[in-house]
Structure 1
Amino acid sequence: MPMTLPHRTLQTIQVGRMKSSCDTSSRPLKKDLNHLDFIRMKVVKIVLFVICAFNLNGLEAQLKYNDADTNFDNLLYKRAAKQYESLTKKGDDSQHVLQRLGDCYFFNTDMENAVKWYGLLFSKYENVLTPEYTFRYVHALKGVGNYRLAKAIMKIYTQKLDASQFTVEQLGDNDEKLDELLNRQPQFYISNLAINTPVADFGPIYYKDKIVFSSSRDSLRFETRLYEWNQQPYLDFFMADTIDLGSDLAEVLPFSEILNTRYHEAVASFIPEGNKIYFTRNNYSNQALGRDGEGTNHLNMYTSELRGGEWTEAEEVPFNNEAYSVGQPALSPDGKHLYFVSDMPGSIGGTDIFVVEISDDGSFSQPKNLGPTINTSGREMFPFVTEEKLYFASDGHLGLGGLDVFESELAQDGFEEPHNLGKPINSNRDDFGYIVRETTNRGYFSSNRPGGKGDDDIYSFQRLEETCSQTVQGSVVRKSNGQPMVNVSVELHSQEGTSLGKTSTDPYGAFSFDVILDCETKYDLKIGKEGFVPNATRFSTSDEKDYVNKVPMEITKELNKLIVRENGVLKIKIDNIYFDVNKADIRPDAAQELNKIVEVMKEYPKMVIKIEAHTDSRGSDRYNETLSDKRAKATGYYIISQGIEANRIESAIGYGEKQLLNQCSNGIKCSKEEHDVNRRSEFIIVKME
């Protein structure tokens, strides 16, 4: 939908999507209603004459349908909504009617009713809807605070988005990002201004030591003209003094009788010297509204200079066009770059932010789109530029609902990834028109959130000193198989050893701490569980604000007592395994001991061993060597049969009586117990990580 001057500032602009039905005293846009009534009467007469039995109720419904569409096309959404609802009561639940009903309320920011009708629309036509309707439904759900369903739809729709060119961060698997945004620590104090009225007040901008803003309040003319969309007076510029350290406003007066006209003026920007203004107005000149080929009056950007204490008649900028809207100017601090909003050809979404360079002679370069880092398939609006940052409103980047305010750091080749300012600057309604003095961290913004004095209100804010803070979360798995471990105790410690918090892993092995961590600081995580070896890891936070550190950890079965070091050699120590006389078969009692080897090797998946089998000196040397070799290899085969990879057994060799542990060699008389010392199997660890 094109930019429009809305019933309230934002959604239709505020000077944002600027397509205006404008003056109720002028002829209707696109169609002459008297002529239309005449045609309808003629059609009815013809039908009655030709087919007397024609269904009059059906014809009446069709005429009402046409009336609703006409009102909708002329942006008369409240009137159209009543007509569409009348059709639904007569059983019409077509996709067209449900879409239009949802849109009527969405564009008027009545999110409760938008959710109702979009919900019905999705229940019947979900498989044939375009991405724009998923986008609007998600925004409407956020607008009523139903973040759970909004997240579910975002997650589901991610799988369907691949083939679409409609790309906004709102439609993606953003569960964690949205939760982080909802739970982020507030960085602002805000206050509703005393100067707000029951009608629209928005779009503040600095002008010398004062504030200029846009408002629908009656400007004290003899005849108050109302804007058809919302039955409020047309928007004009007003000026107010700053008081209370710049956090409140007072002494509101009309800004300029020359610049304020009978149509909409809204959203301005001044050059640093204050003697030149850029602003948005209906395409209006020579006492007439300019219209495109479809009868639509767009918004244009104008400029005026202060001469002798008076503003000159406004002049258009050269990149205006009757076919699209141009507005919401924002000058860079040096006055050399002019940012603005437009739906001109080449736009990525509904409205994009563009920039032109201003030469010393006052001429402009060709408009340049700020590109996909800033602009999305949604709406980007209300830019404000400082020496370091671009601030703007968007419903395409991930937010809390409606328009949210974002900031983007200035980089050498453009702007960095935008960052949502979070609550309380942003809400589940439209938040926009953010301006700030970064030396004091004070400023103003606009919002239509509940609890204000009227339509759009202006709020002041104090931004708290930014402190770099982070959080930590992670998971614990068993090292042997990678399975999540439940009920593992996790303790967070400072580098100095002070305990900062304790928690336990959930059924998915996950844990998290609400503790706020300092940036660029080291912390320790310690885990423990009965029957398992305690473990600890150290991690360091970065310098990235609001970053969530994710720390994976492993825990191992308490098998370390089986791993011993003998004479400088690391071994897995189990009880002796026994074989029947003259045999190498693995007996059940031997298997029970060998299973301990298997468990240790599963717990340490990169462990490599070698197997050595030994006999006593009874029997011939050759026989003992052959028998022990068979037993070593049988032992290796059993371990492999229990799921251990063959390449993790480096060798399995029998040494017979070559490596006796005592003096009981050939010809030496020894007791049975002394000979048994030499009958053994050894499991030597070659590699262990």
Structure 2
Amino acid sequence: MKYIFTISIIVLSTFVGNAQKKYKRADDLFDKMWYIEAAKEYESAIDQGDISSEVFQKAGDAYYFNTDMEGAYKWYDRLISEYPKEVDAEYIFRYAHALQGIGEYKQAKKWMKKFSEKAKNEDPRAEKYSQNKITVEDILDIEPQFTLRNLDINTEYSDFGPMYYKDQLVYSSAIDSSYYEERRYHWNEQPFLSLYLGRINPLQTDVTLIEEFSEEINTRYHEATVSFSLDERKIYFTRNNYDGNLGRDQDGVNHLKLYSAVLKEDEDGNTIWEDIKELPFNSDDYSVGHPAVSPDGKQLYFVSDMPGSIGATDIFVVDILENDQYSQPRNLGNDINTYGREMFPYITGNRLYFASDGHLGLGGLDVFQADYVIENVFNTPINLGAPLNSKLDDFGFIIKEDLNTGFVCSNRKSGKGDDDIYSFERTPIETCTQNVFGYLSNVKTGEKISGVTVSLFSKNGEKIEEAITGVNGDYNFVTPVGCSEKYKVTAIKKGYTSNSKDFETSSITGKTEVPLGLDTVDELIVEENGQLKIKIGIIYFDLDKSFIRNDAAIELNKIVLLMTQYPKMKIKVESHTDSRSPDDYNLSLSDRRAKSTKAYLASQGINGDRIESAIGYGETQLINNCTNDIPCSEADHQLNRRSEFIITKI
């Protein structure tokens, strides 16, 4: 694969550092991305006796960035062998990729581990390449899901970037037409890319060339990778920074940009693409390209090395607003993006597909799948395995999930030329999912707690779902999550200290139980029958009296202290009697006692507004069967003679 590196090469190539004068011509060629000529110049320096680490790095890079892994391996191997202590972690990473590119997986695994050990915490790829959880062997052992077929439209040049358009296929090709016969791209001595239209056969297995896609869009330079609006009357496409002249940054580099155009009819009734314009988040100083419109047409995903990128190139997303406006770009985060290259996004209603060399793979770019959780939050990407992925570059994946058919690009050796487009049929393997459930209980009493707000979060802190515990304290999240993934559950309820728990889901499809315990904010606060109450000692009154005795005041002062500690707390006071006096008498007596209790709390500095009510219920709310004329023990009658302090706000 040659052309697709354009968008990422600027960042990666800066690793080489400032050029020494003795490599000036070679470095100038390299900076222009004329890798074939640059490689010859570096090798000429080596032939003349220069065996420095710098020239081995540069020679290896000239092949590496041109996806010639045999050439890259040759010079990286010299670098590693002759300068083992000086070599930087980045070159160990590239060496491991070159080994994968020539099929030396056992050696590649060894050097991946060395890269991880040397990079440590300085490089986010280190953990992914440590192979502590997933190894190259695990990826090689993935059950094959894809049957591939090389398309008839492929040429000896680069053909890639397929995208569905109506019932047809738009793709990029460096086919050697007469228009480009005298114009070659010095990177790889191929013609420049243009967009073409192909007809997909009924079986979705092959494509035949129809014509050039659009004379209005194609220019003298590169056009590639497109996506369409929901009504297919607006196109987004990648092009060199070109508006009649090539735009360059201060270092003379021509970056990629995203453009849009609108389908209209001319005076003769012919449809043409007009209003070609740059998207507002382009820049002369970095590249933007590889568009993918979401299925609902509301978001545009793309690739860039703009400020805020995690690695060489990242996947970003913007909201498509009215009147040709867009939101600010948002990085998809380090679950998707790595220190390496993430490219060629394709989004469906269920998943994000993309190519990456930053996640562990089989070599070069591999295709990954990340299942959708909530808006722009995805599960950890999974490698789709061989034969879809190979030891070289595999990318540009698109799919019709209802048919399990699609297209993918690769520069594997078995192709017709450089990059080729392949059709595929997928036999999907059941995706591993987990459902999270659990219950909430009081840590002291074990009583299940209802009405608790329970939230499920991804490891990056994005809220996935919220649930409320039922009468038995149980909860169940509806949204399925990934297997072997890290998540967090939090639990919040008024009157309780909040709690949270980090956990990892099981590795097989099923359910993960996450129980949580809560404690009240104070030991005096308890929950009874779904109500929070202040539990103090029994409030005793003299016979037929309602004034507050000294022993009762000691207990009520505990409430005063608690309400002072929690100045937003509000309560209701309820007084009750047993059934051994006339009903009306008990009702009146309990009401006087409730109001006397409120008056006492107010006398101790508790604002009366914080005591929402003070009501006596007499014997109307007995908590046992000791009703009129039913013989009961004194202890049973005592259970009914109670004052309750119900918390309404805290």
2:383 corresponding residue in structure 1: 420
Shift of 1:109: 1.3
Q: Does 1:332 align with 2:298?
A: no
Displacement of 1:220 in angstroms is 4.1
Look up the match of 1:364.
326
* Residue 340 (structure 1) shift: 0.3
Give the one of 394, 411, 415 matched to 1:452: 415
AA matched with 1:252: I
Of the structure 1 ranges 372-381 and 125-134, higher mean CA displacement relative to structure 2 is found in 125-134
Aligned partner (choices 348, 356, 366) of residue 386 of structure 1: 348
Corresponding residue number in structure 1 for 2:116 = 158
Rounded Cα–Cα distance in structure 1 between residues aligned with 2:93 and 2:123: 13
Match of 2:552 in 1: none
Q: Equivalents in 1 of 2:361, 2:297: separation in Å?
A: 31
Report the alpha carbon displacement of residue 165 of structure 1 after superposing the two structures with TM. 3.2
Using the TM superposition, give the Cα deviation of residue 317 of structure 1 relative to its aligned residue in structure 2, in angstroms.
0.3
Cα pair 2:116 2:126 within 8 Å, conserved:
no
| 3-state SS in 2 of match to 1:204 | strand
SS at match of 2:84: helix
Pairwise CA distance, 1:228: 1.4
Counterpart of 1:69 in structure 2 is: 27
Distance 1:170 1:448 in 2: 25
Q: What is the alpha-carbon distance in structure 1 between the residues aligned to residue 121 and residue 361 of structure 2?
A: 24
1:169/1:187 CA distance change after superposition, 3 Å: farther
Give the aligned partner of residue 542 of structure 1. 508
Partner of 1:432: 395
**1:573-628 CA-partner distances (Å, limit 9, x unpaired):** xxxxxxxxxxxxxxxxxxxxxxxxxxxxxxxxxxxxxxxxxxxxxxxxxxxxxxxx
Q: 2:262: which partner in 1?
A: 305
Aligned residue for 2:95?
137
The offset of 1:541, in angstroms, is 8.5
Tell whether 2:70 aligns with 1:112: yes
Shift, 1:175, TM fit: 8.2
For the structure 1 residues 120 and 210, does the alpha-carbon distance in structure 2 shift closer, same or farther, using more than 3 Å as the test? same
Structure 2 Cα separation of the partners of residues 332 and 132 of structure 1: 34
Is 1:9 equivalent to 2:3 in the alignment? Answer: yes
Partner of 1:463: 426
Give the Å deviation of 1:361: 3.3
The alpha carbon displacement at 1:210 in A equals 0.5
* Identity level (%): 51
Is the partner of 1:189 in helix, strand or coil? strand
Cα distance, 1:363 vs. partner?
Answer: 1.1
Q: Which amino acid aligns with 1:374?
A: I
How far apart are residue 68 of structure 1 and its match?
A: 1.7
Aligned to 2:129, what secondary structure does the other structure show? coil
Structure 2 partner of 1:294: 251
Distance 1:19 1:256 in 2: 32
Give 5+ residue unaligned stretches, structure 2.
14-19, 266-270, 434-482, 484-505, 511-650
Pairing of 1:263-662 with structure 2 (within 5 A): 263-285=221-243, 287-308=244-265, 309-412=271-374, 414-467=377-430, 542-543=508-509
* 2:196 equivalent in structure 1: 238
C-alpha separation in 2, matches of 1:102 and 1:541: 40
TM norm structure 2: 0.63
Mapped to 2, the partners of 1:398 and 1:222 lie a distance apart of 38
Q: What amino acid maps onto 1:349 in structure 2?
A: G
- The 1-side partners of 2:44 and 2:310 are apart by 36
- Residues 66, 468 of structure 1: CA spacing in aligned structure 2 closer, same or farther, 3 A cutoff? closer
* 1-structure distance, mates of 2:60, 2:8: 20
Does 2:58 correspond to 1:100? Answer: yes
- Give the 3 Å change call, closer, same or farther, for CA 255–409 of structure 1 in structure 2: same
Q: Is 2:125–2:359's contact at 8 Å kept on the other side of the alignment?
A: no
Superposition RMSD on alpha carbons, in Å?
Answer: 2.5
Counterpart CA distance in 2 for 1:277 and 1:449 is: 30
- Say if 1:20 and 1:219 are closer, same or farther in 2 by CA, change over 3 A: farther
Q: After superposition, what is the alpha-carbon deviation per residue over 1:160-188, rounded to whole angstroms, capped at 9, x for unaligned?
A: 22242353555313585211111222011
Report if the CA contact (8 A) 2:181-2:191 is conserved: no
| SS of residue paired to 1:232 | coil
| Residues in 1 aligned to 2:145 and 2:108: alpha-carbon distance in whole angstroms | 25
**Alignment deviations for residues 515-544 of structure 1 (CA, whole Å, 9 cap, x no partner):** xxxxx9xxxxxxxxxxxxxxxxxxx98327
* Distance change in 2, residues 1:215/1:334 (3 Å): same
Residue 365 of structure 2 contacts residue 394 of structure 2 at CA under 8 Å; is this kept in 1? yes
Q: Distance in 1 between matches of 2:150 and 2:226?
A: 21
Contact 1:290 1:322 in 2 (8 A): yes
1:282/1:20 CA distance change after superposition, 3 Å:
farther
Q: CA deviation at 1:78?
A: 1.5
* Cα distance, 1:400–1:541 mapped onto 2, change above 3 Å: closer
Structure 2 SS opposite 1:392: strand
- Partner Cα separation in structure 2 for residue 63 and residue 296 of structure 1: 20
Secondary structure, counterpart of 1:85 in structure 2 = helix
1:73, 1:177 → 2: CA distance? 35
Cα gap change, 1:168 to 1:354, in 2 (>3 Å): farther
Does the C-alpha gap of structure 1 residues 253 and 274 become closer, same or farther in structure 2, counting only changes over 3 Å?
same
Q: Aligned partners of 1:228 and 1:86: how far apart in 2?
A: 19
| Cα distance in 2 between the residues matched to 1:294 and 1:461 | 42
**Cα offset, 1:73, TM superposition:** 1.9
Q: Residue 339 of structure 2 aligns to a residue in which SS?
A: coil
1:31-42 pair list within 5 angstroms: none
Letter in 2 for 1:352: D
* Equivalent position of 2:443 in the other structure: none
- Secondary structure, in 3 states, of the residue corresponding to 1:101? helix
With 115-124 and 154-163 compared, the bigger mean Cα shift is at: 154-163
**1:468 Cα deviation (Å)?**
6.5
- SS of alignment partner, residue 145 of structure 1: coil
Structure-2 change in CA distance of 1:367 and 1:468 (3 Å): closer
Give me the whole-angstrom Cα distance separating, in 2, the residues matched to 1:104 and 1:201. Answer: 22
How many angstroms does 1:85 deviate by?
1.5
Query: In the TM superposition, what is the alpha-carbon distance from 1:250 to its structure 2 partner?
Result: 1.1
For residue 227 of structure 1, give the secondary structure of its aligned residue in structure 2: coil
Q: Secondary structure at the match of 1:439?
A: coil
Aligned to 1:199: 157
Q: Which has the larger radius of gyration?
A: 1
SS state at 1:120 partner: helix
Q: Answer yes or no: is the 8 Å Cα contact 1:16–1:381 preserved in 2.
A: no
Contact 1:214 1:238 in 2 (8 A): yes
CA–CA distance in structure 1, aligned partners of residues 134 and 66 of structure 2: 30
Q: Unaligned stretches of 5+ in structure 1? A: 1-6, 22-61, 471-519, 521-539, 545-689
AA of the residue aligned to 1:434 = F
Q: Give the one of 148, 155, 169 matched to 1:190.
A: 148
Indicate how the Cα distance of structure 1 residues 16 and 220 shifts in structure 2: closer, same or farther if over 3 A, else same: farther
SS of the residue corresponding to residue 125 of structure 2 reads: coil
Kindly provide the CA deviation profile for residues 201-223 of structure 1, in whole angstroms up to 9, marking residues without a partner as x: 00000001100000001344285
Q: Secondary structure at the match of 2:255?
A: strand
Secondary structure of residue in 2 paired with 1:190:
strand
Give the aligned residue type for 1:439: D
